[in-house]
Amino acid sequence: MTGKQGVAQERRTFLRGAAAAGSAVALVAVSREVISGETVTANDTDETAPSKGYRETAHVKDFYASLRI
């Protein structure tokens, strides 16, 4: 195909294929979760484990101070 019509048609075909591939990947990801029956939720965490989240330590405070103008 040549010309603007051909390029536009090829672009549409590519975009349809990309959308179909993305949908297929999402479907596979969801189906694996459904088949295995394993889901991770916020309630599955161990409450006795110490938090490993954000902590404002001395070196973090120094970094923030270096950013101030």
Distance (Å, whole) CA 18 – CA 12: 10
* Domain range summary for the chain, segments of one domain joined by +: 1-38
Element (H, E) at 2: none
pLDDT digits over 39-51, tens only?
Answer: 555 555 556 666 6
* pLDDT given at position 39: 59
Task: Identify the band that residue 15 occupies on the pLDDT scale cut at 50, 70 and 90.
Answer: very high
Q: Report the half-sphere exposure of 47 (CA within 13 A, side-chain side).
A: 1
Averaged confidence pLDDT in the chain: 79
Distance (Å, whole) CA 17 – CA 9: 12
